[in-house]
Amino acid sequence: MITIVDYGLGNIAAFATVYGKANIKVSIAKTVDDLKQASKLILPGVGHFDHAMRLLQQSRMREALDEMVLQDKVPLIGVCVGMQMLARSSEEGELPGLGWIDAEVRSFKSHEGTKSMSVPHMGWNDVKPLSPNPLFAELEADARFYFLHSYFMSCDRKEDVLAVCNYGSDFACAVQSSNIYGVQFHPEKSHRFGDRLLRNFAGL
């Protein structure tokens, strides 16, 4: 069962609609008990990093997610701020992140290659996979996705970067470490490209 983690942020209904159109069953988890049947997890997120981390902790699902993702190796994809939460920390806030990806989240304004660019980075942009990966099956050629963010993930290990996008300079817009995935863009708002990626995640 694909389970969307509902801790109070993110486009829950939009993800459910995409999967509903593809006749793929989803569930929505608001409690630890709701997580028990999950075979794959989606961690959405919008807004401020600290606010998202605080809400996740208040949901009381944090510890269960740690166990499912790190010990049981349940596949998870973080989306937008949900991807940023996978890192150790963010320049946007003071709270620690989940620490599931060896990375820090940085501001476009603090990065040499992008500090002259306007923020947020908003709208459609090309996504370039760096190597073949099932998450990007059939999306290697002309995939474009919708972005809305002012911060980006900077990975410690280049092998964790699945795809890049250019905004002044290249930045990691998709990552993977073992069973943990993250995308900075919004697949649930990216029409046929996003639909394909979410179906790919369902089929991992």
Distance set, CA 99 to CA 69, 70, 85, 93, 102 (Å): 12, 11, 8, 14, 7
Q: Choose the catalytic residue: 80, 155, 165, 173.
A: 80
For the CA atoms of 92, 96, 100, 104, the dihedral, rounded to the nearest 10 degrees, stands at 40
Burial of 151 (0-12, 13-18, 19+ CB in 10 A): buried
Is 173 marked active-site? no
Q: Choose the catalytic residue: 48, 173, 188, 191.
A: 188
Task: State the residue for tokens 């280049």.
Answer: 158
Is 51 marked active-site? no
Q: Is the peptide bond before 120 cis (omega within 30 degrees of 0)?
A: yes
Report the alpha-carbon distance of residue 56 to residue 195 in Å, rounded. 26
Q: Choose the catalytic residue: 138, 149, 186, 191.
A: 186
Is 80 marked active-site? yes
* 8 residue type, one letter: G
* Catalytic sites, residue numbers: 80, 186, 188
